[in-house]
Structure 1
Amino acid sequence: MGIFNRIFNIGKSEVHSALDKLEDPIKMTEQGIRDLKTDLNKSLQGLAEIKALAIRAKNDNAKFSNDAKQYEQKAIMLLQKAQAGQLSPQEADRLAGEMLKMKENADAEAQRTAKEMVQHENAVATMEQNINKLKSKITTYENELRTLKARAKVSEATKKINKQLAQVDSSSTISMLERMKEKVAQDEALAESYGAIALESKSVNEEVEAVLGSTTSSDALLALKAKMGLLGSGETTTTNDDVPPPPAS
Structure 2
Amino acid sequence: MNIFKRILKIGQAEIHALVDMMEDPISLTEQGIRDMKKQLSETTESAAKVRASIIRTENLITEKEQEAIQLGEKAKLALTKAQENELTSAQGEKLATEALLIKKRILEDIKALRDDINEYESKRDEIYKHIEVLQFNITKWEKELTTLRAKQKVNEAATMANQHMANIDSNSTLDMLQRVKEKVANDEALAAAYAEIAQSKIELPDERKAVQDELTALKKQMGID
1:130/1:166 CA distance change after superposition, 3 Å: same
- Report the Cα distance in structure 2 between the residues aligned to 1:118 and 1:59, rounded to whole angstroms: 15
What is the correspondence of 1:97-246 to structure 2 with a 5 Å cutoff? 97-179=97-179, 184=183, 211-212=205-206, 245-246=211-212
Higher RCO by CA contacts (8 Å cutoff, separation 6 or greater): 2
Using the TM superposition, give the Cα deviation of residue 26 of structure 1 relative to its aligned residue in structure 2, in angstroms: 0.7
- Report the Cα distance in structure 1 between the residues aligned to 2:173 and 2:210, rounded to whole angstroms: 64
- Report the Cα distance in structure 1 between the residues aligned to 2:166 and 2:145, rounded to whole angstroms: 30
- Report the Cα distance in structure 1 between the residues aligned to 2:151 and 2:77, rounded to whole angstroms: 81
Using the TM superposition, give the Cα deviation of residue 66 of structure 1 relative to its aligned residue in structure 2, in angstroms: 2.4
- Report the Cα distance in structure 2 between the residues aligned to 1:244 and 1:143, rounded to whole angstroms: 100
Equivalent pairs, count: 180
Is it true that 1:247 corresponds to 2:184 in the alignment?
no
- Report the Cα distance in structure 2 between the residues aligned to 1:101 and 1:244, rounded to whole angstroms: 163
1:176/1:94 CA distance change after superposition, 3 Å: same
* Partner of residue 227, structure 1: none
Helix, strand or coil at the partner of 2:86: coil
* Partner of residue 54, structure 1: 54
- Report the Cα distance in structure 1 between the residues aligned to 2:161 and 2:81, rounded to whole angstroms: 102
- Report the Cα distance in structure 2 between the residues aligned to 1:23 and 1:80, rounded to whole angstroms: 86
Using the TM superposition, give the Cα deviation of residue 22 of structure 1 relative to its aligned residue in structure 2, in angstroms: 9.1
- Report the Cα distance in structure 2 between the residues aligned to 1:38 and 1:45, rounded to whole angstroms: 11
Query: 1:123-154 CA deviation, whole Å, 9 max, x = no partner?
Result: 11111111111111011011100111111111
Using the TM superposition, give the Cα deviation of residue 63 of structure 1 relative to its aligned residue in structure 2, in angstroms: 1.9
Query: 1:11-62 CA deviation, whole Å, 9 max, x = no partner?
Result: xxxxxxxxxx994211111111111111111101111111111111211222
1:22/1:108 CA distance change after superposition, 3 Å: closer
Structure-1-length-normalised TM-score: 0.64
1:244/1:165 CA distance change after superposition, 3 Å: closer
Q: Structure 2: which 5+ residue stretches go unaligned?
A: 1-20, 191-203, 218-225
Identical counterparts, % of pairs: 32
- Report the Cα distance in structure 1 between the residues aligned to 2:28 and 2:147, rounded to whole angstroms: 15
- Report the Cα distance in structure 2 between the residues aligned to 1:64 and 1:95, rounded to whole angstroms: 20
* Amino acid corresponding to residue 206 of structure 2 in structure 1: L
- The structure with the larger Rg is 1
C-alpha RMSD of the superposition: 2.9
Helix, strand or coil at the partner of 1:86: coil
Q: Structure 1: which 5+ residue stretches go unaligned?
A: 1-20, 192-209, 214-239
